[in-house]
Structure 1
Amino acid sequence: MTVYGYARVSSNGQSLEAQLAELKAAGARKIFQEKISGKNRERAELERVLKAMGEGDTLIVTRLDRLARSSRDLLNLVGQLNDAGVSFKSLKETWADTTNAHGRLILTVLAGIAEFERELIVQRTGEGRQRALAQGVVFGRPAKLTHHQRHEALARRHAGESVTAIARSYNVHHSLISRLV
């Protein structure tokens, strides 16, 4: 059972020293650190610590924003840790601590709220799409060719002109002309 630490700052101008000192004082034996923006999903050191930990280990961070950018990110990471049998603890947000029953309860409630919110968003989005369709809104990318251009291109194709020449004249890819029916 090893206690791991994860420290992150967003830019090279910031220092990791305060976080490292706090993590060491909290008992972290192995600390992974990086200087990278939290919005960057590709964080090499975070991936390394996640792979290094095993059942019974604990991951600690000084603050939640060092680990995740959003509550959804946090819940996904905590879920991933939980699935691996790893505990999680934030030093500043004492409620975010899966090493005790109270912290697990709070994170479970938050996960339930996030799931409920996600379902509401999906439902509202679906209703909005239905209203838009009823009003005649067309979804998807705009057509590269107008109705008239499509008919003209088909006529030129039936007349024997090459697909590539037709495509070049409309400044579109030849596969678009080939797909016209």
Structure 2
Amino acid sequence: MGQKIGYARVSTVGQTLDIQVKNLKEFGCVKIYREKASGADSERSQLKKLIASLGEGDIVVVTRIDRLARSTFDLFSIVKEITNKKAQFHSIAEPWTDTSTSTGRLMLAVLGGLADVERDLIRTRTSEGRVRAIQQGKQMGRPSRLTTAQKREIRVKRQNGITLKSLATTYGLSESAVSRIARSHDTRETTTEIQSDTHCDV
């Protein structure tokens, strides 16, 4: 017979784990891994330690599923890791997630399908965002650095009738960035970063 292992997590500065830990202890967890991480932190070192420690028949317990993951894809991936270790998953607030039951196993299968849909939607949005950026003349990738001489070249070439599109291609900038430089008469800077046009909404 495995043991109940708790996982508690907060993601906002100032929050405490006290209530989660109390509920996990009352549920019978013999060990509790405690994580304090920001929403952007993908390391989740305590969760990794928990999964690495799992033995057959162990049960990973959380107070709510949003303590474990924020997206369907992440939830499915983590629960799949747990079940691959021949352990089970249970959420106190959502007992239907218990993977030791037929309902829980059905939930896992449904999560897998939803995770695939979510992943495809993300890929589609990302692809569409890149296409829009290219169509709008935005440069993908890292900001470009231009010397004063290069900016001067752009101004001269523009005055000589070279198109914005041609200059943008030559210098690896967006057309709007080239237009700004062409209108600029400030040569005091030795370098500049064209940052405002490299952002892509996805």
TM-score w.r.t. the length of structure 2 is 0.61
Asked if structure 2 preserves the Cα contact closer than 8 Å seen for 1:38 and 1:68, the reply is no
Structure 1 residue 46, shift from structure 2 partner: 2.3
Cα RMSD after superposing both structures: 3.1
- Structure 1 pair 67/150, CA: closer, same or farther in 2 (3 Å)? same
Q: Following superposition of structure 1 onto structure 2, how do residues 23-172 of structure 1 map, counting pairs within 5 Å? A: 23-34=24-35, 36-37=36-37, 39=39, 40-130=41-131, 132-134=133-135, 136-145=137-146, 149=150, 170-171=190-191
Q: For structure 1, which segment, 88-97 or 110-119, has the greater mean C-alpha deviation from structure 2 after superposition?
A: 110-119
Question: Residue 13 and residue 22 in structure 1: after superposition, are their counterparts in 2 closer, same or farther (change >3 A)?
Answer: closer
SS in 1 for 2:95: coil
Unaligned runs of 5+ in 2: 154-188, 193-202
Corresponding letter in the other structure for 1:14: T
The CA deviation string for residues 139-178 of structure 1, in whole angstroms up to 9 with x for no partner, is: 23343127962997xxxxxxxxxxxxxxxx9459xxxxxx
Question: Alpha-carbon deviations, 1:4-42, whole Å to 9, x = none?
Answer: 1112345556351x33332233232222234x1352333
Give the secondary structure class of the aligned counterpart of 2:105.
helix
> How much does 1:107 deviate?
2.5
Q: 1:124 to 1:37 in 2, by over 3 A?
A: closer
TM-score between both structures, scaled by the size of structure 1:
0.67
Q: Measured at CA, do residues 143 and 13 of structure 1 come closer, stay the same or move farther in structure 2, by a change above 3 Å? A: closer
Structure 1, unmatched stretches of 5+, are 153-168, 173-181
State whether residues 146 and 191 of structure 2, in contact with CA within 8 Å, keep that contact through their aligned partners in structure 1.
Answer: no
CA shift for structure 1 position 90: 0.2
Identity value in percent: 42
How far residue 78 of structure 1 moved from its aligned partner, in angstroms, is: 0.9
